[in-house]
Structure 1
Amino acid sequence: MERVMGGGMLPLVLASVGVLLLYRILARLRPGAGVQDAVVVITGASSGLGKECARVFHAAGARLVLCGRDAARLQQVVQELTASSAGTQRQTYTPSTVIFDLADTDTVDRAAEEILKCYGQADVLINNAGISYRGNILDTHLSVQRDVMETNYFGPIALTQALLPSMVRRRSGHIVVISSVQGKIAIPYRSAYAASKHATQAYFDCLRAEIERYGIPVTVISPGYIRTNLSLNAVTGDGSKYGVLDKTTAMGWDPQDVAQAVLRAVRQRSKDVVLAGPLPTVAIYLRTLWPALFFKLMSSRARKEKKPKDE
């Protein structure tokens, strides 16, 4: 793959992208299962994409268990959802809340018990909570790499493994994880974040294969940039907050559109969904089909940036 003969690789990449786009169109037309009355667990539900997922699944009639660290903010989401459903014809439910820190894996088993007590089961688990990172590897403490991995990788797999036995016993359930395009390709000055998302992708790909026999689908959602506070709350190499709204984030996907895509993926029991524009999509294929060019482009990008800053 390091040597490209006769320029024949580019048509192959473009053809692969065309197949992916056709698959997405057909997936939208495919009928799917409803989520009315389903118990849907959402982590990181107090803000950003998690909050938008709570809105769309609540409107679809799901029984929600909203998870997060801040009880007051979660309760505010509950109040907003309850008010929004007034006068609607569809049956909706007042969401339940479970407060815990996903990064503290010692508390996850207890949290899983509380989640199951809410409705006696979990039909859909949406692993959404996460943290981003901006930093130069040379200036990044190893503790920061570990902290990002705890939140983005160990937390979600701990909760998944705590709830999974109840799904296996019932031969019913659905595991969803919000990964990132950076779980498929790595870009400069995102090492901790990209590493955590690569690990997430690998774990849930393995899980999908292992539990398919029980009729439990696993869906990995890989969005590009979304208009949330993710970059504002990102950590830097010394653990401090980045505190900058990147231009790429400000111009990213509307979180409502991403939340609708998550709902659609659950209904259609999709396996792997990439929500990105043409350039990131091509980059994903380049990484596999033409790695030499991909690495050259990333090196050029790193030299242009020189340090983590607004892109």
Structure 2
Amino acid sequence: MERVMGGGLLPLVLAGAVLLLYRVLVRLRPGAALQDAVVVITGSTSGLGKECARVFHAAGARLVLCGRDAARLQQVVQELTASSAGTQKKTYTPSTVTFDLANTATVDRAAEQILNCYGQVDVLINNAGISYRGDILDTHLSVHREVMETNYFGPVALTQALLPSMVRRRSGHIVVISSIQGKIAIPYRSAYAASKHATQAYFDCLRAEMECYGIPVTVVSPGYIRTNLSVNAVTGDGSKYGVMDKTTAMGRDPGDVAQAVLKAVRQKSKDVVLAAPLPTLAVYLRTLWPTLFFKLMASRARKERKPKEE
């Protein structure tokens, strides 16, 4: 009996030891150095973009901060410069490029300005985005177009404008901040979820095509983050939502998410989900048991519709 038990347990013990060793090695695996790397961040004047600027600046990257408001970009530059005063680590005063990502006609010119800052881009972080709250029946097609222009066409246009320079150098890294809603769709988020699903698909295709050039592509899919994303969201008629959702208010700290983005860049991760257990489980449920997932979403839709009808 002892020999039978020993023979059965030994493979399990060995397998457990190998798994433990693998986890230790993954933790100790050195990440890509970011000192002196040129990192471009869109939507860098607030929220997650601003926090990413802070952590990549502290890591010694040469930043190119992008946004629509030149004054707010300069304010971020001043804050970062002040934060690094007196530190021993070598840091750089960030450069800025002002443009509206939703206006794809301006993106090629913006890409030229970005490349003129340091002559290259080592990491592009497509972070800028807009959210949406609304009932499909009450949502204008123009709102769907607006959300797609900012969340999908803008990042695609900027990526494709900068990509040839990376391919020529056989060096670079493309990052996009998507959302857990790029993997699952929930009621009253149609325009936003659609834009993030499109984003996930495009950058998955890009990852496969860039493999031969040695250019990694990282899709980061957070859940709720404590930012003004819901406050600034558009509604079905194009007006601002103007409300801090409870789920958003209870979301992750943007600084913690920025650190996770930094880690993903260093480790050249391919697909990173930063969501609570239930949304993460829903991603698998959508694939493995879609009938149940659809019932749960229909139930959620009914619950959220009730206040409108009373």
**Pairwise same-fold verdict (TM > 0.5):** yes
Larger Rg: 2
Question: Following the alignment from structure 1 to structure 2, what is the Cα–Cα distance between the partners of residues 272 and 177?
Answer: 10
Describe how 1:61-76 pairs up with structure 2 within 5 A: 61-76=60-75
Q: Residue 84 of structure 1 aligns with which residue?
A: 83
Q: Residue 37 of structure 2 aligns with which residue?
A: 38
Question: Following the alignment from structure 2 to structure 1, what is the Cα–Cα distance between the partners of residues 44 and 50?
Answer: 5
1:306 aligned counterpart, secondary structure: helix
Describe how 1:45-64 pairs up with structure 2 within 5 A: 45-64=44-63
- Give how far 1:32 is off: 1.0
1:131 aligned counterpart, secondary structure: coil
Cα root mean square deviation, aligned: 1.5
- Give how far 1:254 is off: 0.2
Structure 1: gaps of 5 or more residues? 1-22
Question: Following the alignment from structure 1 to structure 2, what is the Cα–Cα distance between the partners of residues 26 and 246?
Answer: 40
- Give how far 1:277 is off: 1.1
Q: Which amino acid aligns with 2:267?
A: Q
2:163 aligned counterpart, secondary structure: helix
Q: Which amino acid aligns with 1:80?
A: E
2:241 aligned counterpart, secondary structure: coil
Q: Residue 217 of structure 2 aligns with which residue?
A: 218
> Structure 1 pair 151/299, CA: closer, same or farther in 2 (3 Å)?
same
Q: Which amino acid aligns with 1:101?
A: D
Q: Which amino acid aligns with 1:207?
A: L
Describe how 1:123-272 pairs up with structure 2 within 5 A: 123-272=122-271
Q: Residue 273 of structure 1 aligns with which residue?
A: 272
Question: Following the alignment from structure 2 to structure 1, what is the Cα–Cα distance between the partners of residues 140 and 74?
Answer: 35
- Give how far 1:127 is off: 0.0
- After TM superposition, where is structure 1 displaced by more than 3 Å over at least 4 residues in a row? 23-30
Question: Following the alignment from structure 1 to structure 2, what is the Cα–Cα distance between the partners of residues 24 and 299?
Answer: 40
> Structure 1 pair 224/307, CA: closer, same or farther in 2 (3 Å)?
farther
Q: Count residues with an aligned counterpart.
A: 287
- Give how far 1:26 is off: 7.3
- Give how far 1:30 is off: 3.3
> Structure 1 pair 26/45, CA: closer, same or farther in 2 (3 Å)?
farther
> Structure 1 pair 264/153, CA: closer, same or farther in 2 (3 Å)?
same
Structure 2: gaps of 5 or more residues? 1-21
Q: Which amino acid aligns with 1:257?
A: D
Question: Following the alignment from structure 1 to structure 2, what is the Cα–Cα distance between the partners of residues 106 and 223?
Answer: 29
Question: Following the alignment from structure 2 to structure 1, what is the Cα–Cα distance between the partners of residues 307 and 215?
Answer: 40
Q: TM-score, normalised by structure 1?
A: 0.90
Matched, 1:298 2:292: no
